[in-house]
Chains A and B, each alone.
Chain A
Amino acid sequence: MRAQFRVSNKLLPSITTLDATNNTTSSIVAPSSPGKQPLVDILDVPIKSKPKEVSMSAFSFLFSGIVQYYQERLTHGADLEQKLSDLGYSVGFRINEIILYREKNPQRKNRVIPMLQFISNTVWTMLFGKNASSLEQSTDSINRYMIYENQPIECGFISIPKNLSGLQCSYFTAGIIKGILTASEFPADVKVFPSQNKESTVFIVDFDYDVIDREELWK
């Protein structure tokens, strides 16, 4: 697979490509049969301005298939949460790019609060069709913030059996948040807990102390 450098200037929604190998023929397959056409480079395919829609049940079925797959292979519940978080992490990395591309006035966020507002408003709307329930800063520690969500999308059709009562399938969304934060240079750890009143789910975002030190420099 040829390596590619992609320079994306986040102030302008355009992406320039530099091919490291200068090899222009590697992505073209000579048509050998009538049905085949030269492969188009993935980076040349235009991105539709309005995303398509699929049924929510398609995503729910896929997510349930994923959870079943991991349950067969893993013995500890905590590992399942980690695996879901890893899955969400790679989703978050990629979703970050497309959301910024589609934003009307894309601006790079270098402060923590605008970044978290971006996640709880723009990202949440793109993924779930609504804003997150609320965003709060913890009074206990300076690097901790909380995002509350009343109805996490992936857990809509999941019922947790009694022997796994501590399991949180929202770790997938937590992984997405972590992926977006890490891709935007805000390394953080995101955990999931049921909130105090057991009604909503809370995503606890613990930023790395480098991020907090950087915040201090801005003040």
Chain B
Amino acid sequence: MSNIAKLQKVGDSTFGRIEKINSELLTMTYGSLVTQLLRDFEDTDAVNKQLEKMGHKIGVRLIEEYMAKSNPSAGSCKEFKDTAEAIAKVGFKMFLGFNAQVTSWNQEQTQFSLVFQENPLNDFVELPERLKTEGLFYSNLLCGVIRGALEMVQMRVECIFVKCPLRGDDVSEIKVTLIDYLKEIVLEDE
């Protein structure tokens, strides 16, 4: 599909233009954060929720940068499909430096999966057995970021981590489900 190729070019060119840093600093900082969260909250579910919440706050601001930095001539997203491809090819590329693939669309076209092999947040990480069985989603921040960013463009979605290489899978997979479109509320002056 030529739209995907176009978005890929947008993603690459945006990534070429922005200021970059060593991915290892990001990796280590994120690792320290997750370690600290595990110490603060004893419960793994609470850590997952906290990571998602933090990601949500980040996503709400990240969308502004996305809109500003990526070339707006790529066109606005007319359908949910375009949104999915834009996240995978432009969003992931311009912030984390890699492309993701969009797969597993459901029949109503409201649910898709983002699949990616490499994830700089996961570098050098090994989860102890206890956290694997308790279900820690190490990169759950990304789910929150996607949810927060899409909320700012009037889409309510739910993002769940399905597969993670730190738990033995070969790829990372995030399942994104569109719940509804938010109506813009215009407050009337009283």
Which residues of A are at the interface with B, using a C-beta cutoff of 8 A?
1, 29, 35-37, 39, 42, 51-59, 61-66, 68-69, 73, 83, 86-88, 90-91, 94-95, 98, 126-129, 153, 172
Interface size on B, residues (CB 8 A): 45
Q: Which residues of A lie under 8 Å from residue B36 when comparing CB positions?
A: 83, 86-87
Query: Which chain B residue has the least Cβ–Cβ distance from A68?
Result: B57
Q: Does B78 contact A (CB under 8 A)?
A: no
- Contacts A55-B19, A55-B97: A62 and B30 contacting too (C-beta < 8 A)? yes
Query: Which chain B residue has the least Cβ–Cβ distance from A91?
Result: B28
Asked if B23 contacts A95 (CB within 8 A), the reply is no
Complex CA distance for A195 and B23, rounded to whole angstroms: 29
Q: Which residues of A lie under 8 Å from residue B161 when comparing CB positions?
A: none
Which one of B21, B30, B33, B94 has the highest number of Cβ atoms from chain A below 10 Å of its Cβ? B21
Interface membership of chain B positions 108-130, coded 1 if the CB is closer than 8 angstroms to chain A and 0 otherwise: 00000000001010001110111
Query: Which chain B residue has the least Cβ–Cβ distance from A27?
Result: B126
Q: Does B45 contact A (CB under 8 A)?
A: no
Which residues of B are at the interface with A, using a C-beta cutoff of 8 A?
15, 18-26, 28-33, 35-36, 40, 50, 54-55, 57-58, 61-62, 65, 94-97, 118, 120, 124-126, 128-130, 141, 163, 168-171
Asked if B120 contacts A52 (CB within 8 A), the reply is yes
Asked if B32 contacts A87 (CB within 8 A), the reply is yes
Counting residue pairs across A and B whose Cβ atoms lie within 8 Å, the total is 121
Asked if B95 contacts A54 (CB within 8 A), the reply is yes
Asked if B126 contacts A54 (CB within 8 A), the reply is no
Which one of B15, B22, B31, B171 has the highest number of Cβ atoms from chain A below 10 Å of its Cβ? B22
Give the top 7 A-B pairs by smallest Cβ distance, nearest first.
A42-B126, A1-B128, A52-B23, A53-B20, A91-B28, A56-B19, A90-B32
Asked if B168 contacts A87 (CB within 8 A), the reply is no
Asked if A59 contacts B26 (CB within 8 A), the reply is yes
Complex CA distance for A91 and B58, rounded to whole angstroms: 21
Which one of B29, B126, B129, B163 has the highest number of Cβ atoms from chain A below 10 Å of its Cβ? B29
